[in-house]
């Protein structure tokens, strides 16, 4: 798509500056992508999902998906932070993970699962690129780098969740030390 020219106050014609800097990635509307996983993809893979990415604002307390409900979108955050929260039947909640621009909200989709294990809620407002979960799921077999990056992220996230009892003091430190944590 050609870039429109503008005239500055001195009559000099200069090209219109896009939202993204040269060498960076954009969504289909030309908005900058800052998510680490999306930036790591080879062009062939990124171009498969680029038309389906929609940049969205994610305000404080926005619920991206609810525990037990169908995951409609996966979110690659550019800015902000989402908390992954387990909610008990009596309404109490515990944060079990966080996602920033290094990851993706909606990770079960990469494993073919369609319902959420946790509530995902924005704790620090920001923005991100969302993609319909069914499209991401269909594209993944043709995207080995994205699949590998999401698998690696899932493993790191599992380690984060596994260390949660130590961080919250829910375990006896001595027994955790003996277990090699």
| CA dist., res. 47 & res. 62, Å (int) | 28
The reply to whether 105 falls in a domain is yes
The reply to whether 129 falls in a domain is yes
**In this structure, what CATH number is given to the domain that contains residue 87?**
2.60.120.10
Q: What is the DSSP letter of 42?
A: -
Domain of residue 49, residue span = 21-164
Which tokens hold the place of 86? Answer: 């387990």
Segment of 65-69, 85-89, 157-161, 165-169 carrying the highest mean pLDDT: 65-69
pTM, two decimal places? 0.78
What was the pLDDT predicted at 23?
A: 52
**pLDDT tens digits, residue range 16-70?**
334 445 457 998 888 899 999 999 999 999 999 999 999 999 999 999 999 999 9
Does residue 115 have a pLDDT over 70?
A: yes
Question: Which segments of the chain does DSSP mark as H helices, in order?
Answer: 36-40, 43-49, 133-139, 144-168, 173-178
**How many structural domains compose the chain?**
1
The reply to whether 1 falls in a domain is no
The reply to whether 63 falls in a domain is yes
Average pLDDT of span 146-167: 80
Name the more confident of 5 and 105: 105
What was the pLDDT predicted at 29?
A: 87
Q: Is-contact 97 160, C-beta < 8 A? A: yes
Average pLDDT of span 143-157: 93
Average pLDDT of span 106-121: 91
The reply to whether 5 falls in a domain is no
What was the pLDDT predicted at 171?
A: 45
What was the pLDDT predicted at 124?
A: 98
Rg value, the chain, Cα: 20
pLDDT above 70: percentage of residues in the chain? 76
């Amino acid at each position: 798509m050609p870039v429109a020219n503008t005239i500055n106050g001195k009559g000099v014609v200069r090209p219109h500056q896009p939202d993204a800097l040269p060498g960076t990635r954009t969504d289909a509307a030309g908005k900058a992508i800052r998510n680490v996983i999306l930036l790591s993809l080879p062009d062939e893979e990124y171009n498969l999902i680029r038309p389906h990415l929609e940049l969205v604002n994610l305000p404080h307390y926005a619920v991206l998906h609810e525990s037990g409900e169908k995951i409609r979108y996966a979110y690659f955050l550019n800015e902000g932070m989402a908390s992954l929260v387990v909610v008990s039947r009596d309404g109490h909640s515990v944060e079990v993970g966080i996602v920033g621009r290094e990851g993706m909200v909606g990770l079960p989709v990469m494993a073919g699962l369609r319902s959420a294990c946790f509530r995902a809620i924005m704790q620090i407002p920001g923005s991100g690129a969302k993609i319909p979960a069914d499209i991401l799921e269909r594209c993944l077999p043709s995207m080995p780098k994205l699949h590998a990056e999401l698998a690696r992220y899932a493993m790191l996230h599992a380690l984060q969740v596994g260390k949660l009892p130590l961080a919250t003091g829910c375990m006896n430190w001595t027994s955790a030390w003996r277990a090699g944590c």
